[in-house]
Amino acid sequence: MPRVACIGECMLELSGVDNRAMTLSYGGDTLNTAVYLSRLGVETDYVTALGNDPYSDWMLGQWQAEGLGTELVVRAANRVPGLYAIRTEAGGERQFFYWRDQAPVRDLFSFPESADLAARLCAYDYIYLSGITLSLFGPEDRARLFETLDAARAKGAKIMFDTNYRPRGWTDSAAARQAMTDILARTDLAAPTFSDDIQVFGDANADACAGRLHATGVAEVVVKLDAEGALVSSGGHRESVATVPRIDPVDTSAAGDSFNAGYLAARLSGETPVAAARAGHWLAGEVIMYRGAIIPREAMPGGQE
């Protein structure tokens, strides 16, 4: 059975309309993808760093209940995970506030456990990460991450990367562009959202985006175009794949993360890129009909119409 490792940050989340009664949850882009991969039957491990606090224990228990492997989660003494709060204004507009500068994941590749972590990542079929993952690390730790990915690829692992550009995580777009150019040189499957890539690379359209990615050496590309569908490009074949129409979506959180999970799960099961894009659309189409990034397990789609 293929094995996938997802690298990134999952933070504690506080949300609610009343500061005296906030709801505690957790969230993270690569964690969302990992959960959906696990639910789709893919053996998936999450790679991050947490503290030795009760809240970190709680998150680990939640992930394990989803079937995620957590043996590659580093536990840092006297540290606590990052935190963000969602403030909902009149009319439904949301603001996000973050406390994450000292989160232990930022030192993931500096901890003593990092050597063992790097060696164990060589055993996976796919390693998945995003632009948010890259933004966590300074130059030295990012270089260690790249060395780890190079070693894993030398052992046969493939790299899947989603741009997932969030400006607040970078000093400027030039820094993001350089880091992403470096990771794309190591990427086998790129799954960017076009609205993110245009901010970093200025591509004129999805075709130009796919062409640029191929020029860096990426063999397989799926450019997500939100409600317009996706452009799949691989092996000299390029095709637009329509999305699954949904009336009055409730919440688009994790639409791209779940698409990536559906796409990769389908590819690992032997489906073509076009069929994989349809699978990604189908899952994302269900996810946006529920509030929150992770939908109830019983709401997972059982098949495609």
Range of the domain at 142: 3-10+29-79+103-299
Count of structural domains within the chain: 1
Residue 143 maps to a domain: yes
Residue 241 maps to a domain: yes
3-state secondary structure of 7: strand
Instruction: Give percent above pLDDT 90 in the chain.
Output: 80
**What are 139-196's pLDDT values in tens digits?**
999 999 999 999 999 999 999 999 999 999 999 999 999 999 999 999 999 999 999 9
The pLDDT of 201-228, averaged and rounded, is 96
Residues 6+ apart with CB under 8 A from 38: 44, 66, 67, 68
Which residue is it, tokens 């009343």?
Answer: 18
Average pLDDT, the chain: 93
**What are 232-245's pLDDT values in tens digits?**
999 999 999 999 88
7 forms beta bridges with 47
Residue 85 maps to a domain: no
Residue 18 maps to a domain: no
Residue 155 maps to a domain: yes
**What are 289-298's pLDDT values in tens digits?**
888 788 888 8
**Enzyme catalytic residues:** 257
**pLDDT at position 90, please?**
57
- CA 269 → CA 2, 42, 73, 241, 264, distances in Å? 9, 9, 27, 19, 9
* Radius of gyration for the chain, computed over Cα atoms and rounded to the nearest angstrom: 18
Retrieve residue 273's tokens.
Answer: 């890129």
pLDDT beyond 60 at 91: no
**pLDDT at position 201, please?**
96
C-alpha closest to that of 135 among 86, 211, 63, 196 = 196
Residue 91 maps to a domain: no
**pLDDT at position 305, please?**
45
C-alpha closest to that of 190 among 145, 233, 226 = 233
Band (pLDDT 50/70/90 cuts) for residue 250 is confident
Weakest mean pLDDT among 137-146, 196-205, 249-258? 249-258
Distance CA 237, CA 151 (A): 30
pLDDT beyond 70 at 89: no
* Residue 230 identity (one-letter amino acid): A
Which residue is it, tokens 């959202």?
Answer: 193
**What are 48-77's pLDDT values in tens digits?**
999 999 999 999 999 999 999 999 999 999
C-alpha closest to that of 26 among 47, 57, 4 = 57
Rounded to two decimals, what is the model's pTM? 0.94
Expressed in angstroms, the distance from the first to the final Cα of the chain is 27
In this structure, how many other beta carbons lie within 10 angstroms of the beta carbon of residue 48? 27
Looking only at the bridges linking them, the beta strands covering 73-76 and 83-88 are unpaired
Residue 150 maps to a domain: yes
3-state secondary structure of 204: coil
Residue 23 maps to a domain: no
CATH code, domain carrying 285: 3.40.1190.20
Q: DSSP alpha helices (H): ranges in 185-300?
A: 194-201, 206-215, 255-268, 273-287
Distance CA 142, CA 183 (A): 10
C-alpha closest to that of 44 among 75, 73, 17 = 73
The better pLDDT of the pair 16, 287 is held by 287
Band (pLDDT 50/70/90 cuts) for residue 92 is low
Backbone angles phi, psi at 15, to 5 degrees: -145, 155
- CA 202 → CA 13, 26, 220, 282, distances in Å? 32, 32, 20, 29
